[in-house]
Each structure stands twice: as structure tokens, then as C-alpha cells.
Amino acid sequence: MKHILITCMIFLATFCAFAQEKMLPPELKYRNSINSYIGLIELNFNYERNLLLRAHSYTNIRAGFGYWTNLQLEGTCIEAVAVHVLGRKDSHPEFNLGVKYIIDKAGEDNAAVPLVYAGYRFEQPEGRIIFRFGLTFPSIFNLGLGWKF
């Protein structure tokens, strides 16, 4: 009787402990992504990490680098952007606000410019591919493709 009682208590404690285990939401499965964006005057490659997740929206910090041209000058750019995405379906309105530091190849016209974006991001909550398009400053139109990992 004593062995049966001990076995039942161990089973019950294990079962309750397993039931209280916190499971990660599907959005946390892939917290990082690598993205490429093309606009009318530039091409960028970025790393993005999900930092804050809420029930109907999440905020990321994206840092990246890329090639920059305005058809007269060319160089590289470094950017840091706060990304806010609304919704949890396949398509999400997305808003970005940040700064881009442009390094001119000739070294004469280096400048920090604001980076503003409004558009749509298409991604399945448990999928890995990200597609986005929208309007942005300074490159006017932005089209992007990314991979979550």
C-alpha cells in the first residue's frame, strides 16, 4: 500500500508540474530574420530581432547595413530602426521609424537621414518567409524579402 501511495504521489506531482509548464507562442519560435530590401534608389541587407511581443502587435529593433545609391553618388549605409507590426494573421500593417547613416564612397557627403516606412508585411505566424512592400523615406518605394530563423 505504501508503494502504491508513493507511486501515485510521484505521478501526480509530475503530471501537475508538466501541466504548469509555459509553452512558447508560435511567434517566438523564430525570433531572428535576415532581410533584403530594394527601393528606387537603394539596396539593403538587414538583421532583425523580435524583442517585445504582445497579443495583437509586436515591436522589433532592426539593425542593418547595405549598399546605397541615388544614381549620382554611391556608398554604404548603416541603419537602426524601431519596427512595429500590428496583427497576428498572414498580413500585417507595419510602421518603422529610425535613422540611416549614409557613408559616401568618395567620403565627402556622409550624412544621417531619418528612415520612415509604412506598408504591409506578409508572413505566416509559423512560416519562415517574409515579404513586404510599402512607402519609405528616403527611397520612396520599398520591396523586401526575408527569412526567419
Which domain range does residue 94 map to?
Answer: 29-148
The number of folded domains in the chain is 1
What CATH number did the domain enclosing 131 receive? 2.40.160.20
Whether 141 is in a domain gets the answer yes
pLDDT digits (tens, 9 = 90+) for 54-110: 656 777 888 888 887 777 778 888 888 898 888 767 788 999 999 988 888 877 778
Q: Is the pLDDT of residue 26 over 70?
A: no
* Model-wide pTM > 0.75: no
Q: pLDDT tier at 17 (50, 70, 90 boundaries)?
A: very low
- What string of DSSP letters covers 29-85? T--EEEEEEEESSEEEEEEEEEEEE-SSEEEEEEEEEEEEE-SS-EEEEEEEEEEEE
